């Protein structure tokens, strides 16, 4: 019996959750403010933790010390971090050894924040005070602490000499701690290795040094590569030890040190590679210990890319290692990685005809590992039976990755094609392995293994025939009943994505239809709904490419079956969850017919949040607007005459405006919908401009020729200017959201290209009609280089079957299930593109956007043409743009915030709770600091700073308005033009002074500096009033050479004092 759940129990819709600052008591009675992100709140929290550290109870002190990590993670302002470290080191100096141990753990976890410490001298003084004590345990803890603080104290001579003195200690544990501290200092300091060299050589050669300590001392030699003077003697010292025929632990450390030195100095690399492969020789299996063979493989992974000789015998020895070390899965995985490194070299030797059979034998050895490991076989024959964890699941997957490399390298190294039956056999074995992995215990390792297995299936499928790919997809669908119920949704989503990548969507639709018909009674309702939605998408994709009547009829039949399935669905939480995900996927594909049915289903859910109701209403308005453009609704049923497109677009504009009004209402409730509003506005304005251009191009025939030309030219000129403004807003929108996914970039780039093509043709036509400057404008003068490259890539593309709306989605496009119960966070951040800058985003098949493809064929940029296209062709292009289906990218539904920018300002003469006081025409100084912090997609902080930005540009404006409306896209565009250094910048509303630009360096996500603000001499109104200094930010990525606008702003109220009157 399934209970009816309200829609809000399925998790919040994207961006509908807000963090509020609340107070609660810690376990040791300290008031903790949750959600505070200001430096004032952070300093208040520091005082609370300091008071707790002075508690008489050791437990309260320990909990307070461990709380510093949470404070730094939430508010890592540089001044806060510096003050916190000073308090911790002072506590370390004056506390007993029991608390010092927990302080050492805290220092180790706070290493990422050491770059923000300013008072390194105080840090060193307080730790060195403990190092001078007579207690050996205190000295050990102090040395370990110096090792943790080495990234900040690396260049201090007092710290270096203190560590050097303790390395000769007779206490073995103290000497080990000193060696560890010396190793850390060598890693971060460029000068300490030279200071350490004599002491290090003396201790290594000293007979009284224990072997355990000597291993650590020799391992420090790996840092000597930074100094060319020390690298040569260090390499010779390791060479003397390597010549000793022993397999001791000390010799192993010498080998690893020599490999590290060779990898950085590129000296003796080939000799070391030959030595390492000697440990893998088949004749050395009985004499070389397994540990040495494993470490030899690790060293080979590091050295093979740097070697200059690659004899073929090394390849056979790696294959022999894969065959002979089956009892050690870790060694097998390392051998596969070393084989990948060997095959990844650009200068691979060609095999002789006598060596080609050994090549196929090597492939057979690798393929033998693509089997179901016994550790994942179920212990219970029933569905969902308990299984063990996955200790050996990585070996078959690693073998599959190596097989992909071997198959792709075969035409290069062996002049012979890959037999199709081999790749097909590997593909089927990997599919079987995948099904068995799904029956294993649900862990993070299993999810990674499944994702990796699907990636290997995709790459192996490219090497097989379409029939084999279709058979594998059908086999995966047939294995649905063997998959545990809890992971069927996730498995079906990945199978659908695999079928789309392998271009086997028709096979998926056929197999899924048969599976639904055969198992409709046993399959849960939510799973049936998701499979039916995927089938509908596959049929829609086929009808979109081929435009055949039978395909269109099949799509209608599938739609009717989908509607009947929705009518029979039970109303429970799982069904609502899958229905909303299906709605998202259909909207991303631009398939709006079934969206209305899904909205009707979601309307039956109980809604407790006004924001959820508004969000659903906005989606309903968008769906209603898109339905107006469908062929079966655009024409009147009682008449064969079709409604003019310009009339339909006018109604469309009104419906989208209603959706925008609903989204603005959500903004007023505190739920950010900025990207959603701006994206819909740009889409609406583009269609409105198409409607206006159509209206002016279709001038009635009874109007005089001269008048018609004048009206056409003037009106189209206005449309052209509005298109220029739209292009400007599209550029700002694309560059103002650095977390955009590939599909959102593709959609904005398509709009940019479409608007540019229309501007080009309208300008060409207007100049031809007016007989003014017959030369048409070149595309290079209208569009930026990225759009030109995008256009040319479209011209080079051939009409392929995969050019469709579904194939253009590259992340979060299928109904992915993340397993955490949240229906709106399944667009995984890890699948976002590595380079979100590039607007040239295609699917994994390299197909262009379908609208841009059609328009490029209809309105080419013919640079040699003297006459523009006819009005009929131009009207056809405008109708094509105006009636194209809207594809909402995944980012429109779920806008993850990948970083959180926080600002804090400290001005001189600050009065708490009141405006700052200043005189007219005064040069005012404001200290500004801030930090960038990674988030998990919903503005929750996660460990680690944001390192992709190297600088921040601060724009300060003095205005009479108390707030600066950052929700206006035009204002962001004006600021963006200012950041680019444009000569003419539109005025900022309410500004009474010219904007000032400041640039600060961002290091490890933190920045600090001072703003010099000149207050105006003359105010627009009375002499005694408050002005506001607004601070806006743009982040700079040096690799892309362009700023990312942010919506983070800071406002400082300043009260201007009246001039002092002097009595004469």
Are 295 and 252 in contact by the 8 Å Cβ rule? The answer is yes
Please state which of the ranges 26-30, 440-444, 483-487, 673-677 shows the lowest mean pLDDT.
Answer: 26-30
231-246: average pLDDT: 85
Report the CATH number at residue 529.
1.25.40
At which of 836, 871, 891 does a domain end? 891
The verdict on 928 and 979 lying in the same domain is yes
Residue 957 DSSP symbol: E
In a domain, 36, yes or no: no
What integer pLDDT is reported at residue 219 of this predicted model? 92
Which CATH number is 1011's domain given? 2.60.40.10
- Do the domain assignments include residue 909? yes
Residue 455: name the closest of 404, 489, 505, 407 by CA: 404
Task: Tell me whether residue 935 is in a domain.
Answer: yes
- pLDDT for the residue numbered 738: 62
Quick one: pLDDT at residue 849?
61
pLDDT of residue 994: 74
**What pLDDT does residue 103 have?**
93
- Into how many domains does the chain fold? 3
Same domain, 866 and 904: no
Residue 130, token pair as written in the block: 């403990």
Confidence of residue 804 (pLDDT cuts 50, 70, 90): very low
Whether pTM > 0.85 for this model: the answer is no
Closest CA to 461 of 451, 471, 448, 452: 471
Q: How far apart are alpha carbons 477 and 492 in whole angstroms?
A: 8
3-state DSSP assignment of residue 446? helix
* 1033 found inside a domain: yes
Report the distance separating Cα 495 and Cα 507, nearest Å: 12
Q: What angle do CA 996, 999, 1001 make, to 5 degrees?
A: 165
Please tell me whether residues 686 and 707 are part of one structural domain.
yes
Mean pLDDT of all residues in 1007-1036 = 72
Mean per-residue pLDDT for 930-956? 67
Q: Are residues 952 and 811 in the same domain?
A: no
618 with 671, same domain? Answer: yes
What is the reported pLDDT for 88? 93
Q: Are residues 865 and 767 in the same domain?
A: yes
Residue 1018's pLDDT band (cuts 50, 70, 90): low
- pLDDT at res. 197: 92
Check residue 381 and give its pLDDT.
36
Residue 860 three-state SS: coil
Q: Which of 167-176, 616-625, 788-797 has the lowest mean pLDDT?
A: 788-797
Q: Which of 1055, 985, 990, 994 is nearest to 1020 (CA)?
A: 990
Q: Strands 897-907 and 22-25: what pairing?
A: unpaired
Q: What backbone torsions phi and psi does residue 952 show, to the nearest 5 degrees?
A: -130, 135
Going by pLDDT thresholds of 50, 70 and 90, the confidence category of residue 514 is confident
Q: What is the mean pLDDT of residues 355-383?
A: 69
Closest-CA residue to 163 (of 90, 145, 152): 145
The residue from 836, 856, 891 where one domain ends is 891
846 burial via Cβ count (<10 Å: 0-12, 13-18, 19+)? exposed
Most confident of 127-131, 908-912, 1009-1013: 127-131
Mean pLDDT calculated for residue range 1001-1010: 81
Predicted confidence (pLDDT) at residue 1 exceeds the cutoff of 50: no
Indicate the residue among 858, 891, 924 that finishes a domain: 891
State the chain's mean pLDDT as an integer: 76
CB-based contacts of 749, cutoff 8 Å, min separation 6:
734, 786, 787, 790, 839, 840, 841, 849
Report the sign of the C-alpha dihedral through residues 782, 786, 788, 791, in that order.
negative
Stretch 866-877: mean pLDDT: 78
Closest CA to 762 of 810, 705, 717: 717
Of 962 and 114, more confident: 114
Tell me: do 786 and 820 sit in the same domain.
no
Among 165-169, 243-247, 264-268, 941-945, name the one with the lowest average pLDDT. Answer: 941-945
Task: For 637-678, write each residue's pLDDT tens digit.
Answer: 444 456 788 888 989 999 999 999 999 888 777 777 888 888
Q: How far is CA 488 from CA 305, 456, 533, 816, 824, in A?
A: 42, 20, 15, 11, 19
Task: Give the separation between CA 799 and CA 1042, rounded to whole angstroms.
Answer: 34
Segment 460-479 mean pLDDT: 87
Better pLDDT: 861 or 709: 861
- Asked whether the predicted pLDDT for residue 567 surpasses 90, the reply is no
Instruction: Tell me the percentage of the chain whose pLDDT exceeds 90.
Output: 15
Say yes or no: 811 and 921 in one domain: no
| pLDDT at 307 exceeding the cut of 70 | yes
For the ranges 372-381, 551-560, 1038-1047, the maximum mean pLDDT occurs at 551-560
Does 636 share its domain with 783?
A: yes
In a domain, residue 944? The reply is yes
| pLDDT tens column, 712-737 | 677 788 888 888 888 888 877 877 77
Q: Can you tell me the distance from the alpha carbon of 1048 to that of 839, in angstroms, rounded to the nearest whole number?
A: 24
Domain identity same for 723 and 713? yes
Count CB-CB contacts under 10 A for residue 510: 17
Domain containing 549 equals 467-606+798-824
3-state secondary structure of 951: strand
Contact 454, 494 (CB under 8 A): yes
Strands 1042-1056 and 916-918: parallel
675 located within any domain? yes
Q: Are residues 570 and 660 in the same domain?
A: no
**DSSP for residue 12:** P
Q: CB–CB of 87/66 below 8 Å? A: no
pLDDT of residue 480: 84
User: What span, in angstroms and rounded, lies between the C-alpha atoms of 753 and 749?
Assistant: 6
Residue at 409 is within a domain: no
Q: What is the mean pLDDT of residues 347-363?
A: 86
Top-confidence residue, 19 or 76: 76
Per-residue pLDDT, 973: 64
Per cent of the chain over pLDDT 70 is 72
Alpha-carbon span 822 to 838, nearest angstrom:
30
Read off the pLDDT of residues 432-467 as tens digits, 9 standing for 90 and up: 888 877 766 666 677 788 888 888 888 888 888 888
Beta-bridge mates of residue 1027: 1054
User: 405 lies in a domain?
Assistant: no
Query: What tokens appear for 315 in the block?
Result: 């390849």
Q: What is the mean pLDDT of residues 876-883?
A: 86
- Comparison of pLDDT for 760 and 208, the residue scoring more: 208
Cα distance between residue 999 and residue 953, in whole Å: 4
Q: Same domain, yes or no, for 732 and 870?
A: yes
Q: Supply the pLDDT for residue 938.
A: 45
Question: What is the C-alpha to C-alpha distance for residues 683 and 655, in angstroms, rounded to an integer?
Answer: 13
Measure Cα distances from 244 to 219, 296, 636 in Å: 17, 17, 93
């Amino acid at each position: 019996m399934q209970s009816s759940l309200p829609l809000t129990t399925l998790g919040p819709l994207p961006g509908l959750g807000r963090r509020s600052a609340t107070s609660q008591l810690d376990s040791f009675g300290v008031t903790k403010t949750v959600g505070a992100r200001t430096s004032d709140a952070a300093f208040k929290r520091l005082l609370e933790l300091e008071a707790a550290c002075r508690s008489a109870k050791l437990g309260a002190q320990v909990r307070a010390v461990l709380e510093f990590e949470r404070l730094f993670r939430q508010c890592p302002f540089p001044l806060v971090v510096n003050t916190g470290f000073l308090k911790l080191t002072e506590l370390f100096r004056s506390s007993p050894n029991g608390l010092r141990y927990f302080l050492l753990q805290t220092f180790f976890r706070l290493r990422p924040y050491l770059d923000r410490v300013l008072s390194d001298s105080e840090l060193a003084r307080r730790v060195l005070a403990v190092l001078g004590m007579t207690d050996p345990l205190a000295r050990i803890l102090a040395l370990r602490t110096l090792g943790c603080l080495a990234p900040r104290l690396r260049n201090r001579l007092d710290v270096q000499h203190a560590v050097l003195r303790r390395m000769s200690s007779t206490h073995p544990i103290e000497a080990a701690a000193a060696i560890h501290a010396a190793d850390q200092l060598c890693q971060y300091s460029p000068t300490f290795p030279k200071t350490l060299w004599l002491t290090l050589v003396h201790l290594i050669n000293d007979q009284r040094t224990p072997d355990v300590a000597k291993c650590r001392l020799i391992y420090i030699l790996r840092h000597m590569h930074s100094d060319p003077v020390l690298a040569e003697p260090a390499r010779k010292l390791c060479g003397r030890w390597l010549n000793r025929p022993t397999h001791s632990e000390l010799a192993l450390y010498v080998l690893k040190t020599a490999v590290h030195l060779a990898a950085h100095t590129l000296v003796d690399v080939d000799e070391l590679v030959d030595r390492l492969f000697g440990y893998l020789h088949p004749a050395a299996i009985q004499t070389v210990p397994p540990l040495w063979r494993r470490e030899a493989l690790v060293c080979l992974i590091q050295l093979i890319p740097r070697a200059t000789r690659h004899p073929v015998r090394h390849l056979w020895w790696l294959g022999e290692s894969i065959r002979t070390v089956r009892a050690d899965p870790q060694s097998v995985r390392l051998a596969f990685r070393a084989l990948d490194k060997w095959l990844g070299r650009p200068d691979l030797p060609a095999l002789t005809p006598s060596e080609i059979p050994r090549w196929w034998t090597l492939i057979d050895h690798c393929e033998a590992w693509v089997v179901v490991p016994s550790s994942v076989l179920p212990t219970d024959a029933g569905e969902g039976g308990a299984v063990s964890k996955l200790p050996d699941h990585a070996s078959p997957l690693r073998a599959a990755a190596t097989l992909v490399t071997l198959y792709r390298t075969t035409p290069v190294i062996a002049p012979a094609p890959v037999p199709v039956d081999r790749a097909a056999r590997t593909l089927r074995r990997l599919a079987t392995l995948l099904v068995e992995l799904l029956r294993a215990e649900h862990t993070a390792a299993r999810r990674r293994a499944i994702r990796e297995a699907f990636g290997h299936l995709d790459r192996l499928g490219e090497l097989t025939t379409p029939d084999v790919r279709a058979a594998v997809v059908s086999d995966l669908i047939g294995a649905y009943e063997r998959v545990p119920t809890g992971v069927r949704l996730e498995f079906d989503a990945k199978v659908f994505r695999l079928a789309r990548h392998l271009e086997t969507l028709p096979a998926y639709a056929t197999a899924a239809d048969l599976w639904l018909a055969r198992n409709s009674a046993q399959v849960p309702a939510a799973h049936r709904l998701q499979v039916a939605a995927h089938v509908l998408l596959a049929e829609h994709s086929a009808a979109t490419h081929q435009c055949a009547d039978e395909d269109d009829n099949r799509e209608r039949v599938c739609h009717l079956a989908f509607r009947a399935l929705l009518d029979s669905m039970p109303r429970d939480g799982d069904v609502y969850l899958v229905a909303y995900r299906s709605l998202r996927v259909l909207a991303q594909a631009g398939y709006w017919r079934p969206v209305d049915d899904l909205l009707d289903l979601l309307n039956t859910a109980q809604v407790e949040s006004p924001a959820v109701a508004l969000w659903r209403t906005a989606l309903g308005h968008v769906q209603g607007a898109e339905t107006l453009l469908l062929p079966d609704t655009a024409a009147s049923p009682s008449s064969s005459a079709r409604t003019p497109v310009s009339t339909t677009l006018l109604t469309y504009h009104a419906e989208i405006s209603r959706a925008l009004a609903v989204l603005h209402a959500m903004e007023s409730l505190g739920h950010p919908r900025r990207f959603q509003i701006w994206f819909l506005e740009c889409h609406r304005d583009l269609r409105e401009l198409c409607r206006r251009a159509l209206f002016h191009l279709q001038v009635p025939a009874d109007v005089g020729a001269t008048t018609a030309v004048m009206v056409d030219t003037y009106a189209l000129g206005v449309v052209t200017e509005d298109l220029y403004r739209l292009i400007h807003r599209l550029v700002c929108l694309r560059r103002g959201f650095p977390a955009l996914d590939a599909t959102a970039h593709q959609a904005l780039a398509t709009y940019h290209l479409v608007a540019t093509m229309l501007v080009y043709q309208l300008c060409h036509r207007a100049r031809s009609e007016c007989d003014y400057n017959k030369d048409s404008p070149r595309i290079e003068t209208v569009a930026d280089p990225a759009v030109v490259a995008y256009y040319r890539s479209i011209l080079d593309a051939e009409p392929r079957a995969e050019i469709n709306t579904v194939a253009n989605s590259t992340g979060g496009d299928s109904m992915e299930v993340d397993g955490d119960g949240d229906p709106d966070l399944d667009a995984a951040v890890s699948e976002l593109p590595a380079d979100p800058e590039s607007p040239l985003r295609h699917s994994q098949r390299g197909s262009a956007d379908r609208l841009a493809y059609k328009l490029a064929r209809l309105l080419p940029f013919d640079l040699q043409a003297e006459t523009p296209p006819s009005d009929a062709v131009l009207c056809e292009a405008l109708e094509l743009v105006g009636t194209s289906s809207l594809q909402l990218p995944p980012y429109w539904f779920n806008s993850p915030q990948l970083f959180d920018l926080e600002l804090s300002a400290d001005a001189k003469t600050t009065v708490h709770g009141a405006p700052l006081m200043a005189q007219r025409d005064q040069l005012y100084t404001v200290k500004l600091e801030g930090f960038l912090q990674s988030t998990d997609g919903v503005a929750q902080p996660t460990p680690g700073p944001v390192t992709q930005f190297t600088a921040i540009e601060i724009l300060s404006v003095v205005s009479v308005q108390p707030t600066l409306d950052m929700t206006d896209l035009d204002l962001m565009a004006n600021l963006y033009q200012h950041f680019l250094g444009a000569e003419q910048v539109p005025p900022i509303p309410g500004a009474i002074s010219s904007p000032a630009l400041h640039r600060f360096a961002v290091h490890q996500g933190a920045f600090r500096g001072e703003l010099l603000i000149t207050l105006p001499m003359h105010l627009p109104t009375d002499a005694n009033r408050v002005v506001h200094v607004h601070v806006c930010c743009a982040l700079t990525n040096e690799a892309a050479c362009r700023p990312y606008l942010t919506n983070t702003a800071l406002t400082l109220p300043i009260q201007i004092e009246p001039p002092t009157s002097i009595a004469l």
